[in-house]
Amino acid sequence: MQVGVIGLGKLGLPLAVCLAEAGYQVTGYDKSASLIDSLCNKIFFTHEPSVMELLNSTKVKNNLEFSKDSTALYQCEIVYIVVPTPSNSLGVFDSGFVEKAVLDLLGVWDDSDVEKSIVIVSTVMPGTSCDLAQRLLLQRNIKLIYSPEFIALGTVVENLKNPDAILVGCSQDDDARIHVEVQKKLAGEIPVSLLCWEEAEVVKLLVNCYVTMKISFANFIGEICDVLPGTDSKKIANALGIDSRIGGKYLNPGFGYAGPCFPRDNRALSAWSQEKGLKADLAIATQSINSRQPHVTLKRLSKLLAKESSILIVGLVYKPKTEILEHSQSLELARELKALGHDVSIFDPFMSLIDKSNLESDFRFLSSLSDSDIFDLVVISPGFEDTTHNLSPSQKVYKF
């Protein structure tokens, strides 16, 4: 079977290499000529774990080709669309790139009478798949499936190969047969949730909103302990997590959520609910608790600091093993500390990849922790503890 992937970004490229490793003949298409050239010329590099290893493996090399011409997808029986769906000012996802990808495929397959399948992997608003099918695919021998992945940057390949389940939205169950076959070859015999388009689109939003609600609940435990001297928020969270109805995953008081997915999915659910005459009170409260966490942390740090102290923040990106600063709470905390007159320096293992063009006038960036003992306080962001083994034993440290 020949498989296509449209969009070779942070999810699309790992998906393409995993499909090739699973034995499919894969064509990866992206409109970025420079990206395709770098992939074809073997000069592409990413820090996403396992991707480079897979790209350089003999099996993937034999099964995967890249193209900047969408006509290369002509022979593909199934094509996965993994393109951006940016949020507008209201928080609603714009599916323009998805629709453009579908239209491109229709042009490529115009004279084909072979049954084809299109799988939308990009997160879209409820109602999008049905709208696209009714406007573009009537009278065409093309099955449309909505099947988003549940991945986290830094563990994309691991998540693709070991998902909890396959979420599938389709017009009728048989439409998803080939897609489910592909996914099970990739990930093994795992549960499949076959839903209608709208149900699957809502589930994708609800999963992320539920996880973020749990994160904010854990951080509220931290706020409770701030006013109860002698209590330990992590012990309380661990005790809660033992209850099987709650569970310990994501129930870890510390810092708020950030990155390209969690914040925007909450906003999208809120915006869609309002449009339908509903109030997504939990999503709104979740975002409110999350937004105040840098300031809550600042209040905790103020008890440890003198006026105009020198502070080193370890870990600026929103999570380890990425270079992404989007909604980074460490960056927000650094800015609040700077505004209070503190001298703030930054160390991050991914320093060379971070776009520092708008930050270097505010912060000093360190290439190592060798001089960390000159700081009054070192603040270690969640997940960066294993990068701080060079700190002086006498160094004053704040860990989340």
Confidence of residue 360 (pLDDT cuts 50, 70, 90): confident
pLDDT of 393 higher than 80:
no
How much is the pLDDT for 31? 96
- List alpha helices for 162-304, DSSP H: 177-187, 197-226, 233-242, 262-275, 281-291, 293-302
Radius of gyration of the chain (CA): 23
pLDDT of 358 higher than 90:
no
Domains of the chain: 2-195 (3.40.50.720), 204-291 (1.10.1040.10), 300-399 (3.40.50.720)
Q: How far apart are CA 152 and CA 319, in angstroms?
A: 10
- List alpha helices for 92-230, DSSP H: 96-108, 128-136, 156-161, 177-187, 197-226
**Global pTM value:** 0.92
Residue 80: both structure tokens together: 């996965």
The average pLDDT across 295-322 equals 91
The region of weakest confidence among 285-294, 318-327, 341-350 is: 318-327
Q: Phi and psi at residue 379, in whole multiples of 5°?
A: -105, 120
Identity of residue 313: I
How much is the pLDDT for 322? 85
Length of the chain: 400
